[in-house]
Amino acid sequence: MIQKKLLFVCLGNICRSPAAEAVMIGKLKKAGKDQHVICDSAGTIGFHSGAQADLRMRKQAQRRGYAVTSISRKVKADPDFDRFDMIIGMDDQNVKDLYALTRSPEHHQKIFRMTDFSSQLSYNYIPDPYYGDAADFELVLDLLEDACEGLLKYLEKEVN
């Protein structure tokens, strides 16, 4: 039975949020909980809609055992804010853009930032790696692995 639906959101939906989706699915599988949680991702802009995730992210995530397979799409107030339980932005601007889409206090309560769930690493946002190099993509994956561990613990209270 599906108990939680998570939507990860960044700007372009080709680097950070598709990786967050893949890392979270990987962690859920390891914990035997992937049957109970739906993960998806989207971007606040539609510029890359229909595109695969950035090849650099796909390759670097693959080396850690995560398959980044999602196709970019833009987040939509309708139906995303009704469909998902948690809508998780990667940085300040993503969170601000998500708040601008909301139309009710219930929608507001669904918005989180990825680093709310960080446990070991002390970043308060996931930096955009798009114009960066391999080290920037590795940092994103480090931060996402850490935050997804925390998110898994958060969900464990609610997902059996």
Specify the residue, 2 or 134, whose C-beta has the smaller distance to ligand 4NP: 134
Q: Please state the φ and ψ torsions of residue 39, each to the nearest 5 degrees.
A: -120, 140
Specify the residue, 41 or 118, whose C-beta has the smaller distance to ligand 4NP: 41
Active-site position among 40, 54, 128, 146 = 128
- Contact criterion met (CB below 8 Å) for 81 and 111: no
Specify the residue, 62 or 104, whose C-beta has the smaller distance to ligand 4NP: 62
Residues touching ligand 4NP: how many (CB under 6 A)? 10
Specify the residue, 12 or 26, whose C-beta has the smaller distance to ligand 4NP: 12
Q: Which residue is nearest to ligand 4NP (CB)?
A: 12
76-107 b/e (C-beta count within 10 Å ≥ 16 → b)? eeeebbeebbbbbbbbeebbebbeebbeeeeb
d(CA 68, CA 59): 9
Among 10, 20, 61, 152, binds ligand 4NP (CB under 6 A): 10
Among 7, 15, 143, 147, binds ligand 4NP (CB under 6 A): 15
The residue among 132, 75, 28 whose CA lies nearest residue 140 is: 132
SS3 4: strand
Least distance CB 111 / ligand 4NP (angstroms): 17
Q: How many residues does the chain have?
A: 160
The residue ranges that bind ligand 4NP (CB under 6 A) are 10-16, 47, 128, 130
The residues annotated with a catalytic role in the active site are: 10, 16, 128
